[in-house]
Structures are given as structure tokens and as C-alpha cells.
A = this chain, B = another copy of it.
Amino acid sequence: MSKTIKHQEKTDFLLDKGLELLWCKGYNGTSVNDIVKVADVPKGSFYFYFDSKEDFTVKALDRYFALKRAATAEVLEDRSVSPSQRLYNYYEKRVNIMKDQLNCTWGCMGANIGNEMSEHSEKIRVTIVNHEEKIRRQLVDVVIEAQMDEEIDHTVDPDNIVAFIEDAYKGMLISMKETQSAGPLDNFLFFLKTLILK
């Protein structure tokens, strides 16, 4: 196997392992020692594969958003379903992942790190802003479709309503973590349906 591929594989392995720690414990709550320990890699190796903890975090975020997109893209692109229903299915899928895989405890890594680090690391902040913008653009396309089909009020600005929904989703995840329950998840889906996608 090529050397560069091997190098990339080990890089990704470290990212996968460390990503979970950052997601769960945050930037300042996760140490480089924690990361190399769960990956069973010598401490010195970390700085062979990454410039710094900050650099690692940026790359872990890239990986997180790539995995997130891979897990939900098809729901949004399923043309056999109406645009409005596609939007609902998309959030329902994200909600179910929170319930099933994450036990209502981890929330969204992007929002977690963004909330913790935006003021303190410009590189991390910009990384998250860019990824979230990409997600919103996808959603805006579907909203515009839904408006053409008159499933969503066509007087409302697509960018703004998507930003509002995403913000409501983000905040709901905080309440989910605080209450350690699925209540906020269901409440979000209910008002998404009755208030916006009606």
C-alpha cells in the first residue's frame, strides 16, 4: 500500500477517534493525551500528523460535517417525495439519530464547538461557518421548491426561514442535553410541521 495512503488512513483513524471526544467533551474538555490514548497511538505521533490541537479540531470538524452530510443527503434529494415532506423527513432523520445513536447527550458537534470556540479561534469559527452555510444552501433549494409547489408560504425569504429553522434546531439540542430527554426533539418536529411546513 502506498505510503501516502497509509499516512492518510492513520490520519483519518486519529480523526475518527478524537472527533468523538471533541464532540462529547468539547475543545477545552478534551486533551491531546485523551485523543492519543483512545487511538492507542504514541503522543509524539500526534504532532507528526497534525500541526496542533487547533489544526486537529479543524480537520475533525471537516470530517464531522462530511459524515453528517453523507448520512442525510439522500433524504433531502429523494425526488419521489414532496419538497415539504423532504424537509420534514430530513429533520426527523436528524432527530432520530440524536435519539438512537447519541442517547440525547452529544448534540451537534458543530454547534458545540462553535459555541465554545468561536470567540477564541478564528480558524475553527470560519470552518464551522462555512460548513453550516453549505448545509443551509442545500435546505434553501428545497424550501424554494416547496414554495413553488405552494407548500410553504411564498412571501417568506427562503434563506431567512432556513436560518431560523436551523437555529431552532441548534437551540433545541441544548435543551435536549440539559434535560437529558427527547422532549425537545419532538417539540421541535411538532412546531416545524405546524408552524412552518403547514
B-contacting residues of A (Cβ < 8 Å)?
A: 24-26, 28-29, 105-107, 111-112, 114-116, 118-120, 125, 128-129, 132, 156, 160-161, 163-164, 166-175, 177-180, 183-184, 187-188, 190-191, 194-196
Contacts and interface: CB of A to CB of B under 8 A. Distances in A.
A105 B169 CA distance: 20
A183 B166 CA distance: 14
What number of copies of this chain does the assembly contain? Answer: 2
- Listed from nearest, the 4 A-B pairs whose CB atoms lie closest are A171-B171, A170-B171, A28-B28, A168-B168
B111 A171 contact: yes
A56 to B, nearest CB: 17
B115 A177 contact: yes
A196 to B, nearest CB: 7
A29 B129 contact: no
Contact of A118 (B161, B178, B194): B178
A114 B161 CA distance: 26
Contact of A116 (B116, B163, B168, B194): B116
A114 B178 contact: yes
A190 B155 CA distance: 13
Given A26-B28, A105-B119, A119-B24, A163 B178 contact: no
A125 to B, nearest CB: 6
Contacts of A169: 171
Contact of A164 (B173, B180, B187): B187
Contacts of A174: 111, 114-115, 167, 170-171
A191 to B, nearest CB: 5
23 contacts: A26-B116, A28-B28, A106-B119, A107-B115, A114-B174, A114-B178, A115-B116, A115-B177, A115-B178, A118-B180, A125-B180, A129-B178, A132-B175, A132-B178, A166-B175, A167-B174, A167-B175, A167-B184, A167-B188, A170-B175, A171-B172, A171-B173, A171-B174
